[in-house]
Chain A
């Protein structure tokens, strides 16, 4: 900014008189407003207001109702922003949010003060940059289409800056820009497919404090229930081969082992947890070696929406060959970085497995048995009483608790009663209504109270199969919580107490089970998801989702690996020379092709419009048997034909006069007259 100011200060007086063409200004304004629009919701209010004020100010300046801001005003504005932006974003000043905020403020301030042609140019280039900023947040099909429109506007503005006043016709400018952009598409595709992709240069924290809908790394009563308000996609899965039976689709996200009487959270320290990463040898990996797999693995590809967290959704128990991930001690996969972008991975899971079957070390075991203080006394008493009936029979105890849930009056509902200080007690003995987290939480509590190692697992269960492309879409309302207990001889075993109370939830999914509940998808008022009952609309929705999946998988996920696979399938063995030659050859071909479309010979001296009309008229007469003779002038022609057909004289003469007037008197340039000629020819044809 400061640099810019200095430059304008030293500019000569002649340069100061640069007038931004009116049309260019309008184009720029349209482009800027439409490109900023999608960002508005994400920015703090004061920042949005600043942008709006700057734009309004510029419009006033343009109308001459306000003078250009002086050096002092500009200094104060910039200083204010330099103060306000760090205040807003604090420690996250290097986050994407802050950067985009700065970009928006910068671009509108620049708009306010631009004087020179290069200032205008800078604002236009920054507009393109703002489009990139939008793609950091969203790359959905509608956003892509909208941004395409924005790019067209910016490009038109750029072209309009290079047009003379006489050539400034909005539709024409728009048309030429659109044609050039369309012609650029083949080049774009070629670059997109072939341009070598590189890994990120440095990592950028995306957002500071944006709350995303989704799981969090702790769970208190009501948390999972809240997720049922949302139909946002959590992730999509495409199975390679047959999908496992629906009730087996437990998508693990994280395990919670620390209970404070109300809330479950992750207690495992990072160092303890990160025990095995990728294929690198690790001295503490014996537990990993001890995993017993059996049967055939399930293979699947997952595209997950960003969570800003590290966890990865898998079916238990996964094995992987991806060095972006590591496995925690609880057999949960995690990414080395927070998932701030849509993330794709291929996973393999063995649904038949035995984990820690050989036992755990005492520390770890103690952790999975720990219960806080003396709270929830009634539940402890209940557990001890029940345990007395199954002293050495852990499996029997588990079954007894499940039977208790099944046989007593427990209700599965999204809107359970509020729980007080001893939530487990109150749930088990008083309210008896709850969502999956209530069941999982109290079940795990009862296990630990009976000295059986247990933990809560949160994740998703089920999903929706799309019949058109076979993908499984897992939404936020599929969020689920269940338990894992450690049984001697079997190791960690999944137990879902919700299944005992509401088996339909597991067998049919939450969509069908919960749709009667008022708060289910409470946040989805105006989306197609509301119309799943209408066959037609549901069909449309599924098709749209199929498109979206293809978009995600083939466009948004086209990365280094995909590029390599493409090269591999085309070239066979991939060598550097081959790649370079292919890329250069292909680019040259595409450029040649596009060049030909640009330079293809235009029709040389096309007949002027009036002549075209008249010749069409002559052709028509020719069909009636009065073709014009070679060398016959229009007047001779008129006389000859009308001598035979006097009834045509009036209209024929009207056409001929109009043509002669246009072609020989007015040099074909009068649009009104041309219209008249066209009308007369039409009249003649209609009447004869």
Chain B
């Protein structure tokens, strides 16, 4: 038991040291490869080191060397040295397999928290040299393998999990390769300086009462619409000139704006206090669900949160704006 405890402690210490070293390394990487939209892989941002396979290769070479020494076989020496030369060259080749690669990425459409966000990574080359078996991955995505043989550009989609709402960064893109012999690994950690938008996770809630109540008492609510003339009010700066009551003006009675009302008033206000006694995220999730439902139903809806008021409307743009507001609400800067 004591022994176990001891080893666990030792392991803990080692992990800590490793983590500390990692953090140090990461901050160094950040300083070394600053964020940029477009990055060309070059001498200052590619790292290379022989990997475990390479060490295995060197070990086998060592055994072969002992054989060559013991049997005094010149050709065995020659073979060992040829393979050693190949190993040295493979460092160059692996490095070259990233050198000059242009990397950029574009985020796909916004997603809801809990879904996966598509990010398109675009790799292209200026020149005819081919790039083979290059892996690209964000920290939380599955790696994709690409080749640039005939084509000068390749696009791959990576799907990063969107865990929470807001503007998220997928982290640094890891580009790595072991081509041609797998004996060493060249990699680069690039920050492509972009974020993607994540809407709150929709949480189902009862929405029928909202629809029903609003539909029943709908006509009583006066909202600016443009179907029927409703009344006149004094002109204010910014009112559309189309709605100015020109006849009244011509009679010299002053400048008035005509107000209209919709025939079927289906405007719905989504309000903060619709869902009492729950936390911010839960409220936003339910509001998000309502937005989805209302948009599907083709109804007008407005949003009223503490400090935010969006007048009722409908359509794709409105939908996106409302969701964006929900996504970024109270997230600070």
B-binding residues in A (CB < 8 A): 96, 121, 125, 128-129, 131-133, 135-136, 139, 144, 147, 151, 155, 158-159, 161-164, 166-167, 176-177, 180-181, 183-188, 191-192, 195, 197-204, 341, 555-559, 591, 594-595, 598-599, 602-606, 669
Contacts and interface: CB of A to CB of B under 8 A. Distances in A.
B85 A167 contact: no
A351 B145 CA distance: 75
Contacts of B228: none
Given A136-B73, A159-B181, A602-B127, A191 B85 contact: yes
A180 B86 contact: yes
Nearest to B57: A125
Interface stretch (B75-83, B162-170, B271-279): B75-83
A204 B73 CA distance: 13
A606 B82 contact: no
A341 B71 contact: yes
Contact of B147 (A133, A164, A203, A555): A164
Contacts of A200: 69-72
B75 A167 contact: no
Interface string B179-199: 111100000000000000000
Interface string B79-99: 111111110111011001001
Interface stretch (B28-36, B59-67, B229-237): B59-67
Given A167-B147, A606-B128, A180 B81 contact: no
Contacts of A96: 71
B57 A147 contact: no
B215 interface: no
Contacts of A604: 126-127
A199 B71 CA distance: 10
A201 B66 contact: yes
Interface string B22-44: 00000000000000000000000
Contacts of A129: 60, 63-64, 67
A561 B132 CA distance: 45
Contacts, number: 161
Given A132-B73, A187-B85, A603-B128, A598 B79 contact: no
Contact of B69 (A163, A181, A201): A201
Given A163-B133, A180-B89, A595-B92, A121 B73 contact: no
A163 B181 CA distance: 9
B56 A121 contact: yes
B70 to A, nearest CB: 5
A192 to B, nearest CB: 5
A158 B86 CA distance: 12
A163 to B, nearest CB: 6
A598 B93 contact: yes
A135 B79 contact: yes
7 contacts: A121-B53, A151-B83, A180-B180, A186-B85, A201-B69, A555-B78, A599-B92
Contacts of A557: 74
Contact of B132 (A158, A163, A185): A163
Contacts of A555: 74-75, 78
- Nearest 5 interchain pairs by C-beta: A187-B85, A184-B85, A191-B81, A188-B82, A598-B92
A128 B83 contact: yes
A177 B89 CA distance: 11
Given A125-B57, A163-B132, A181 B73 contact: no
A162 B150 contact: no
A451 B83 CA distance: 65
A286 B127 CA distance: 81
A119 B262 CA distance: 75
A418 B128 CA distance: 78
Contacts of B257: none
B178 interface: yes
Nearest to B135: A164
A128 B80 CA distance: 9
A594 B89 contact: yes
Given A191-B84, A200-B69, 20 more contacts: A128-B60, A155-B181, A163-B132, A164-B132, A164-B145, A166-B147, A181-B82, A186-B85, A188-B82, A188-B85, A192-B77, A195-B77, A203-B70, A341-B73, A555-B74, A556-B74, A598-B92, A602-B128, A604-B126, A606-B128
